[in-house]
């Protein structure tokens, strides 16, 4: 049997860092990443045959569990018809209709191959629509790895200590204004000074790339107001929150409507898919209707559309998101009570189907500075102890956790039992 450690060594010979996306590398965790062989429901199975209860869910898409038979069936059904045609297909319209029905602020939608392409394209569209160059984002929010957005970013960029990447031209980065998440006054001040130059605000309506940080009361509403006042475009990056914190995403959950919405992860059912959409007025600026160019050889790929349509259709079942949020609540309350009993300073934060675990004595974590002040070593020890007991958490203190509808009460109990042992180990180490 080939072990994960052996596979990682082989991978490192020809793949930078042995991985095709940095967070997978377990950087700072003092161990090689686990190589997975298969997955089913709430579980991952590694190459050595070990089972894990999974709270990563391929970083979000697997909201009904891995290898969902309905999603696999839809892909199988399309498979024999061919992989890609480079022409329109009817299933793309089905997908567009479904997205527009679920998220009413989206009147028109364009599919992409990733979340990165969705946000990059939405930014270009906002700039083209307004004729302005400057964009506002928030420290620790991650919107994929396009140049304008890799400034003070979260996720892997943060985990690897490079929130602002070399290779991003200074001339481009200077158009990206980064403000503090949840700081309403700072947003107001910025727009008072240079509002007429700002094309858009892009925001994670629940931050999920510096752990899980909900918006404070009125934060999103203030963003809507300043954008209205200054004719700037409000972009919600719902790549993570879309179809997860509520069926209609964070905009449905918090009752604040953006001009443009970026989607990814769940929308592709596990296939490489992103999307961005919004009002007919703004989306009509896109090529071939308008002058703002955006394209993709494989965008709207029929297999990917079939997977996404099958998954989104399942999520429309009444009560799905309420039950998902209840599972998250049970998990988070259970973790907090076990930490308290063990005398460990730890809190959880959650919105709908996503959550975060913070090793801190504070009662809440509301921004980047507070997220990065948490005890990184405690996280490392907790992560390692959980992994050893067969619970797979995101391998970084700066990523949100994801629940699926396949997680049973027994799976959650297994997780809580493992956490109890992990906390006990942490207090004796
Ligand atoms: N936006 C958000 C909020 C994300 O969480 C991510 C990825 N985690 C992206 C954009 C980029 O998506 P992708 O990795 O598919 O390019």
Instruction: Report yes or no: 402 and 59 within 8 Å, Cβ to Cβ.
Output: yes
Q: Distance from the CA of 23 to the center of ligand 1, in angstroms?
A: 12
Summarize pLDDT for 293-319 with one digit per residue, the tens: 999 999 999 999 999 999 999 999 999
Distance of CA 111 to the CA centre of its chain: 17
Q: What is the pTM of this model?
A: 0.97
What is the b/e burial string over 57-77, where b = at least 16 CB atoms within 10 angstroms of the residue's CB? bebbbbbbbbebeebeebbee
- Average pLDDT of the residues of the chain: 96
Does the structure show a pLDDT above 80 at 160? no
More confident site: 169 or 19 = 19
3-state secondary structure of 134: strand
Domain range annotation of the chain: 4-67+318-428, 69-315
Residue located via tokens 């719902």: 238
pLDDT tens for 333-383 read 999 999 999 999 999 999 999 999 999 999 999 999 999 999 999 999 999
Residue 115 alpha carbon, nearest atom of ligand 1: 12
Q: Give the list of residues 6+ apart from residue 428 with CB closer than 8 angstroms, or none.
A: none
CA nearest neighbour of 381 among 34, 28, 50: 28
pLDDT band for position 119 (50/70/90)? Answer: very high
Pocket probe for ligand 1: among 24, 203, 239, 260, the residue whose CB has the most ligand atoms within 8 Å is 239
Per-residue confidence band for 154, with pLDDT thresholds at 50, 70 and 90: confident
CATH 3.40.640.10 matches 69-315 = yes
Among 142, 71, 117, 146, which Cα is nearest to 299's? Answer: 117
Ligand 1 atom, smallest distance to 116 CA = 16
> Which atom of ligand 1 is nearest the CA belonging to 117?
16
Catalytic residues: 142, 237, 265
Distance 143 CA to ligand 1 centre (A): 6
How sure is the predictor about 158, in pLDDT bands with cuts at 50, 70 and 90? confident
Q: Over the stretch 376-404, which tens digit does the pLDDT of each residue have?
A: 999 999 999 999 999 999 999 999 999 99
**Alpha carbon distance 307, 311 (integer Å):** 6
Q: What is the C-alpha separation between 307 and 310, in angstroms, rounded? A: 5
How many angstroms separate the alpha carbon of residue 276 from the centre of ligand 1? 12
What's the CATH code, domain 4-67+318-428? 3.90.1150.10
Residue 370, CA atoms < 13 Å, CB-side half-sphere: 17
Q: Which two tokens stand for residue 46?
A: 């590694």
**Does residue 291 carry a pLDDT above 80?**
yes
Q: What is the mean pLDDT of residues 171-190?
A: 95
Quote the pLDDT of residue 303.
Answer: 98
Give the model's pLDDT for residue 172.
Answer: 87
């Amino acid at each position: 049997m080939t072990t994960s450690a052996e596979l990682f060594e082989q991978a490192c010979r020809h793949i930078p860092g042995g991985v095709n996306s940095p967070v997978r590398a377990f950087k700072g965790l003092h161990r090689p990443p686990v190589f997975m062989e298969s997955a089913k429901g709430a579980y991952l199975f590694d190459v050595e045959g070990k089972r894990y209860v999974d709270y990563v869910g391929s970083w979000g898409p697997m909201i009904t569990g891995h290898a969902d038979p309905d999603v696999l069936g839809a892909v199988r059904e399309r498979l024999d018809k061919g992989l890609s045609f480079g022409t329109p297909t009817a299933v793309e319209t089905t997908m567009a209709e479904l997205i527009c029905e679920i998220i009413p602020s989206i009147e028109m939608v364009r599919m992409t191959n990733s979340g990165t392409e969705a946000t990059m394209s939405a930014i270009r569209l906002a700039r083209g629509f307004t004729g302005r160059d400057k964009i506002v984002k928030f420290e620790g929010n991650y919107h994929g790895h396009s140049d304008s957005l890799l400034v003070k970013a979260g996720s892997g960029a943060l985990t690897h200590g490079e929130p602002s990447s070399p290779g991003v031209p200074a001339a481009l980065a200077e158009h990206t204004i980064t403000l503090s998440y949840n700081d309403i006054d700072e947003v107001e001040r910025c727009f008072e000074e240079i509002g007429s130059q700002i094309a858009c605000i892009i925001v994670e309506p629940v931050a999920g790339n510096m752990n899980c940080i909900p918006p404070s009361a009125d934060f999103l509403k203030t963003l809507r107001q300043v954008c209205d006042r200054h004719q700037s475009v409000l972009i919600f990056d719902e790549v993570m929150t879309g179809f997860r914190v509520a069926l209609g995403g964070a905009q449905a959950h918090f009752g604040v409507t953006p001009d443009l919405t970026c989607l990814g992860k769940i929308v592709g059912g596990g296939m490489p898919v992103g999307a961005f959409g919004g009002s007919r007025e703004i989306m009509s600026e896109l090529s071939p209707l308008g002058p703002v160019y955006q394209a993709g050889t494989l965008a709207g790929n029929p297999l990917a559309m079939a997977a996404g349509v099958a998954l989104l259709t399942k999520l429309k079942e009444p009560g799905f998101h309420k039950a998902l949020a209840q599972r998250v609540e049970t998990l988070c309350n259970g973790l907090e009570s076990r930490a308290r009993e063990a005398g460990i300073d730890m809190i959880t934060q959650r919105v709908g189907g996503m959550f975060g675990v913070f090793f801190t004595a504070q009662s809440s974590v509301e921004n980047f500075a507070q997220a990065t002040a948490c005890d990184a070593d405690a996280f490392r020890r907790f992560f390692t102890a959980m992994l050893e007991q067969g619970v797979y958490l995101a391998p970084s203190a700066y990523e949100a956790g994801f629940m699926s509808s396949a997680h049973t009460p027994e799976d959650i109990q297994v997780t809580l039992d493992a956490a109890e042992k992990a906390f006990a180990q942490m207090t004796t180490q």
